[in-house]
Amino acid sequence: MTQQPIPFLDLITPHRELEEELVAAFRDAVRSAAFIGGPQVEAFEQEFAAYCGTKYCVGVANGTDAVRFALMAAGVGRGDAVVTVSHTFIATVEAISQGRADTELVDIDERTYCMSPDRLAQYLQRCSKDPQTGRPLGRRSGKPISAVVPVHLYGQVADMDPILEIARQYDLLVIEDACQAQGAEYDSAQGGWRRAGSFGKAGAFSFYPGKNLGACGEAGAVTTDDEQVARTIKMLREHGQAQKYHHDLEGYNGRLDAIQAAFLRIKLRHLESWNGQRQAAAARYNELLSGIPGIVTPFEPANSKAIYHLYVIGTKERDALAEHLKAEGIFTGLHYPLPVHLQKCYRDWGYGRGDLPITERAAVETLSLPMFPGLTADQQQRVAASIEAFASVATGP
């Protein structure tokens, strides 16, 4: 009997379970003709701010807009440099450069794949200082560094306490790229367990359909405790206007529409359950994969509660293992196979192979296994058995 394929991500089942609510929300939007802004957007903003533990939330069109608007509203732009990582989806860096700032890249932690506080500190220590302001000058761009953007990759909050302390020492803003971390938590010395998006000047979220909290299309949001930042983002998302046809800023068309907000409100009520299912599945994978030669399972620090947007293993036989699993009807993903600093579109930045060795190793050794709410124990056992069979051949008797 042929076994059913195991998808990398199942978006069909959760939407089938919520179909009646989602259709009703769409019907209400059509009947009210409230498509842009309005009560659904405002209600979602209030609910998501409460969920993240921040004073404000501003809905935007997507996660890229969220990062860009957060930086711009915090005053980062032309003439500034921003430090982030290369092991991320390219939108993190696009948002910086499209906001007219320069990008400086540091390497990641080899266990969490998030920004390494030690390497951030080492990088800043090597920077020369602006003689007038004392700010560190980017080693690539020569521009004053004004902000740090840690990425909460794969659903795990970066090590925020040391990052925030380093930022304080150098008088830098912190903007969180929390696009993959809706509901992830971190036990901070500055306030105990807190959720992603509540640590920096602002937090940027994506609600792309494949995220733990995903819209039925494109959507994003920015969380912040800063009223002025929230107010500025509201202008930026709507062509820079504070009131209709009066434009205080050069803005964008970056609004969250009412239909997506309505869908997100429905899904937000299920997020904790969905995240819990992912965490349980991750624990099961850890147990099943423990002891298999050549397989490195995700590292989750004691002060972190990851929500496993992705379950990423490490293996030196990554490509061969991916092909083996595919032949067995098991679909996987690569996040991310070519680092940002080696992308063709940024070749004029002057980075080359060897500049960020841990990032470059992660790009060729990481493999994302099937992970979604509803992933069954039988499916995971099949994945693990296939990996074990591959490892036994690869490593020999």
**pLDDT one-digit tens code per residue, 192-237:** 999 999 999 999 999 999 999 999 999 999 999 999 999 999 999 9
CATH 3.40.640.10 matches 13-268: yes
In which band, very low, low, confident or very high, does the pLDDT at 396 lie, cut at 50, 70 and 90? low
In which band, very low, low, confident or very high, does the pLDDT at 10 lie, cut at 50, 70 and 90? very high
**Is the peptide bond preceding residue 336 cis, with omega within 30 degrees of 0?**
yes
Q: pTM for the complete prediction?
A: 0.97
- What are the sequence ranges of the domains in the chain? 13-268, 270-395
Question: Nearest Cα to 105, choosing from 145, 56, 163?
Answer: 145
Given phi > 0 = left and psi -120 to 50 = alpha, else beta, which region is 62? beta
Chain centroid to Cα 357, Å, comes to: 22
CB 270 within 8 A of CB 33: no
Say whether pLDDT at 397 is over 60. no
**Helices assigned H by DSSP within 340-376:** 357-365
Question: For the domain 270-395, what is the CATH code?
Answer: 3.90.1150.10
pLDDT tens-digit map of 32-64: 998 999 999 999 999 999 999 999 999 999 999
Backbone angles phi, psi at 84, to 5 degrees: -150, -165
CB 39 within 8 A of CB 184: no
**Helices assigned H by DSSP within the chain:** 12-17, 19-32, 39-52, 63-73, 91-98, 117-126, 160-169, 227-236, 258-268, 271-289, 318-327, 357-365, 377-395
